[in-house]
A and B are shown apart, each in its own frame.
Chain A
Amino acid sequence: MTPKAKDETHDLVSATDRNLVLSSLEHGQLVKAKKQDIPRRHLKGLELVVLWALRSYLLFMMAVVVYQAWTAAR
């Protein structure tokens, strides 16, 4: 038995529960359905500029915070 198959035997449920799940949950809510990846979206120029700008801002500000903590500790 492969590890995956072994894992799935834990998930076996009764027919009543199966019907309950299928009648009360949306398809996208099922654990197995959620294992399907959502298609990747490629970021465009302006989006990348904003993300990199904010990333740089965060790294710089973290250095400022560390500096402030260091000076305060001294």
Chain B
Amino acid sequence: MPRSVEIPLQDDVLITHEDVDRAHDRVRVSAARAEHGLSSQARLFWLLIGPGVLVMLGENDGPSMLSYAATGAKFGIGFFIPFVVLTFCMAIVVQEMTVRLGAATHRGHAELIFERFGPFWGWFSMIDLGIGNFLTLITEFIAIRAGAGYFGVPAWAAVLVALVILYSALVSHRYWTWERITLVAALFNLVFVPVALLAHPNWHAVGHSLITWKPLPGFNRDTLLIVLADIGATVTPWMLFFQQSATVDKGMTTKDIRFGRIDTTLGAALAVAAALATILATAPLFAHQMSAENFQAAEFAQALEPLIGHFGASLFALGMIEAGIVASITISTSSAYAFGEVAHKPHSLNLPVTQGKSFYSVLSLCAAAAAAIVLIPGLPLVYVVLLVNVVAVLAMPPALVFLFMLVNDKEIMGDLVSPVWANVLSTGVVLVLTFAGVLFGISIIAPNIFAALGGN
């Protein structure tokens, strides 16, 4: 069992309202656990799912769905179908570690890095997280704006409605209510599945590509950019910080780790279904040799309209709006959690506004600032969308090394340190991400070397 978190309490210890809210949630979990049978297991599952599904569907955000759409339009059905499945397997390996860390230590990720490794390394990871989160938040509002643009909704109205939804999820000041509202919104990510069905994909080709990974794309800078964008669409630093903090805020303990794993795997399964559906939905653009260079959500929907009809194109645009809204909720929450953890300010969705002023202020201001930026006319927003997933991939190896070190730290994890196989897999993930980043760098700054490696 973890040792450092077992701090003896004095009799006069103060109990906060945040503790009381969390205790009410835990009472329901304990009651479900005390019963036997399938229905109690189902109830336990219902009570304990949340952070994993939210983080996975939250990561199917605006730039991610645009990356999948660009993948389908540029490469059709082939190598990228199994490749995207593989990236979600990587995400499960990584995110499972945050569940264990959160349940064992009851501390958020930023807090653990700061306290265990000191502020010097803590600030580095906070800067990475802050920059990455803010850039990504901007792209969420770009996706919302672009998706709403398909229906003729003005940008200011789209952004305003998104902010209202984001703030509405917070009004209960209860983690549980916030989680359920966001989960319902996140499930709309599956709207891409009917869009894919309307595109009448060639299921034989899908099955063939899943088994053989063929046809392979050419080895060039465009392919590399899509590879990086698709990896960045599934594993990013904010996911580590969010899932661990949400696990702690939900009050999960070491007894709940099994359900945390199920939650994470279920989230990955749902997210991969939506991701593959998006590739399949835009694959007809590849078959019809339509160029999708620099497409945003509205352009994809317009280009798909002759192929899948107005209803299908509308669903596609709605999916982009949903992806942006859910991710703006989860990413701004991740920033607020991390800020509270390092500033030693109260940080929980169970806090009333009076006690969580800094938490709710950071959450609200991050979202409002990102929303305001996308309304500035003439900004080259398309570059931000293209590069945000690449930046996420580049920032991931340092973040993963901290995670790796924490989850193997016997002093805080006790018997819950990672087994050898999990360490081998996570080391493999770090190496793959670093290799992909280095290859991308070579393709930009030394195209001759890239060509010598077989690229063109």
Binding site for B on A (CB under 8 A): 7-8, 10-13, 17-18, 20-22, 24-41, 43, 47, 50-51, 54-55, 57-58, 60-62, 64-65, 67-69, 72-73
CA distance A73 to B26 in the complex (A): 53
Q: Does B391 contact A (CB under 8 A)?
A: yes
Q: Is the CB of B6 within 8 A of A27?
A: yes
Q: How far is the CA of A65 from the CA of B128 in the complex (A)?
A: 14
Bound-state Cα–Cα, A60 to B387, Å: 15
Per the bound structure, the CA–CA distance linking A40 and B121 in Å amounts to: 12
- Contact mask B129-151 → A, CB, 8 Å, 1/0? 00000000000000000000000
CB <8 Å contact, A36 and B251: no
> Do B16 and A29 have beta carbons less than 8 Å apart?
no
Whether B445 contacts A24 by the Cβ 8 Å rule is no
B261 lies within 8 A of chain A by Cβ:
no
In the bound complex, how far is the Cα of B7 from the Cα of A73, in angstroms? Answer: 55
Which of chain B's residues 415-449 have a Cβ closer than 8 Å to chain A?
434, 437-438, 440-441, 444-445
Chain A residues lying within 8 Å of B35, measured Cβ to Cβ, are none
Find out whether the CB atom of A33 lies under 8 angstroms from the CB atom of B20. no
Q: Is the CB of A51 within 8 A of B107?
A: no
Task: Name A61's contact: one of B22, B106, B115, B437 (CB within 8 Å).
Answer: B437
CB contact list, B195-227 vs A, under 8 A: none
- Cβ-closest chain A residue relative to B30: A24
Residue total for B at the interface (Cβ-Cβ under 8 A): 59
Docked Cα-Cα span, A64 to B19, in Å, equals 46
Q: Is residue B40 within 8 Å, beta carbon to beta carbon, of the partner chain?
A: no
**Out of A18, A30, A37, A60, which one reaches B441, CB within 8 Å?**
A60
- Does B105 contact A38, Cβ atoms closer than 8 Å? yes
Q: How far is B24's CA from A11's CA once the two chains are assembled, in angstroms?
A: 16
A26: chain B residues within 8 A (beta carbon): 106, 253
Top-10 shortest CB links A-B: A28-B5, A11-B16, A54-B398, A38-B115, A21-B23, A28-B106, A24-B26, A61-B394, A24-B23, A31-B16
For residue A41, give the distance in angstroms from its CB to the closest CB of chain B: 5
- Which of B112, B121, B354, B355 is within 8 Å of A38, CB to CB? B112
Please, which residues of chain A bring their CB within 8 A of the CB of B397? 54, 57-58
Question: Is the C-beta of B38 less than 8 angstroms from some C-beta in chain A?
Answer: no
Given A11-B16, A51-B401, check contact A20 B24 (CB 8 Å).
yes
Say whether B299 faces chain A, with CB atoms less than 8 Å apart: no
Instruction: Chain A residues near B398: list those with CB within 8 A.
Output: 51, 54-55, 57-58
The verdict on B395 contacting chain A, using a C-beta distance below 8 Å, is: yes
Which residues in A have their C-beta under 8 angstroms from that of B107?
A: 34, 38
A24 to B397, CA, bound (A): 38
Tell me the nearest residue of chain A to B28, going by C-beta: A24
Selected from A21, A22, A47, A62, the residue in CB contact (under 8 A) with B405 is A47
CB-defined contacts of A27 to chain B, threshold 8 Å: 5-9
Q: A27-B6, A28-B6 are in contact. Are A64 and B16 (CB under 8 A)?
A: no
A42 → chain B closest CB, angstroms: 9
> Is B36 in the interface zone, CB < 8 Å from A?
no
Contact, CB under 8 Å: A73 / B380: yes
A67 and B445 contact, CB distance less than 8 A: yes
Query: Which chain A positions have C-beta within 8 A of B128?
Result: 58
User: A73 — which chain B residues lie within 8 A by C-beta?
Assistant: 380, 383
A61 adjacent to B409 (CB under 8 Å): no
Q: Do A29 and B445 have beta carbons less than 8 Å apart? A: no
Q: Is the CB of A13 within 8 A of B405?
A: no
Q: How far is the CB of A52 from chain B (nearest CB, A)?
A: 10
- The answer to whether B115 touches A65 (Cβ under 8 A) is no
Contacts of B390 in A (CB 8 A): 65
Q: Can you list 8 residue pairs at the A/B interface with Cβ under 8 Å?
A: A13-B16, A25-B23, A47-B405, A50-B401, A54-B397, A61-B440, A62-B391, A73-B380
Q: Which residues from chain B contact A25 at a C-beta distance below 8 Å?
A: 19, 22-23, 26, 251
Report chain B residues within 8 Å CB of A67: 444-445
Asked whether A51 lies within 8 Å of B14 as measured between CB atoms, the reply is no
Closest Cβ of chain A to B360, distance in Å, is 15
The answer to whether B9 and A30 touch across the interface, beta carbons within 8 angstroms, is yes
Interface positions, chain B 164-215, Cβ under 8 Å from A, are none
**CB < 8 Å neighbour of B434 from A17, A33, A57:** A57
| Nearest CB on A from B347, distance (A) | 10
Chain B residues in 8 Å Cβ range of A17: 15, 20, 23
Q: Which of B260-281 contact A (CB under 8 A)?
A: none
Q: Pick the residue among A13, A30, A35, A55 that contacts B17 (CB under 8 A).
A: A13
Q: In the assembly, what is the distance between CA of A46 and CA of B380, in Å?
A: 42
User: Are the C-beta atoms of B7 and A36 separated by less than 8 Å?
Assistant: yes
- Are A32 and B344 neighbours in the complex by a CB distance under 8 Å? no
In the complex, the answer to whether B15 meets A41 with C-beta atoms within 8 Å is no
